[in-house]
Amino acid sequence: MSTAERAEPRSSFYFKESDAEILKRLVEYRFLQPGDFQRLTGRNIISLRRRLRQLLQCEYVERFTLPLERDAPVGSPPDAFVYQLAPRGIIKAKEYGFADEDYRYTREKSNLFLPHDLLITKIHLAIELAARGTPLQLIAWEQRRSVLLDSAENGNGRLSVNPDA
């Protein structure tokens, strides 16, 4: 047996510039579904799903599934998948300058809160898409609760204020 036969098979994956846009969008939105990526980037949904699967296998992104989210028959396209950056993807996003040093990894997202966070993402997405082709521009959007955390005085002391976005 030759050395080439015994060697581990080489991965054919390489990080593309179009992958950087996926990471950038995940930094901006935190959680996105395949259809969201498609609306934001204009990419073909089939090739986009394939690339998301490759990024998942190479640990740049993580994937959750929304339980009982769709009425589509079994075997339909997996639109109930929700993607977020994995630690390796955060490092890469920081290399590109998309994420600052305060950007944190969300370990496990509870199925209880995922629909809520995804709704916030959908509102953000709707505003951005509605502003396209108009003189309006969304200047800033922050969806990291740790950045938005504040407190307010209510007469009985200080209360924590933790808005979603």
Token look-up 């986009």 returns 48
Which residue segments constitute the domains of the chain, with CATH numbers given?
14-135 (1.10.10.10)
**pLDDT tens by residue, 13-47:** 889 999 999 999 999 999 999 999 999 999 999 99
CB atoms within 10 A of CB 90: 20
**pLDDT tens by residue, 140-149:** 787 765 555 5
**Euclidean distance between CA atoms 33 and 135, whole angstroms:** 27
pTM value is 0.75
The residues pairing with 100 across neighbouring beta strands, listed in sequence order, are none
The pLDDT value recorded for residue 60 is 96
**Residue 153 DSSP class:** E
User: Is residue 98 a contact partner of residue 23, using CB atoms and an 8 Å limit?
Assistant: yes
Q: Which of 46, 49, 45, 43 is nearest to 18 (CA)?
A: 43
**Euclidean distance between CA atoms 137 and 130, whole angstroms:** 9
Q: Which residues of the chain are modeled with pLDDT < 70?
A: 1-11, 67-79, 108-111, 144-151, 159-165
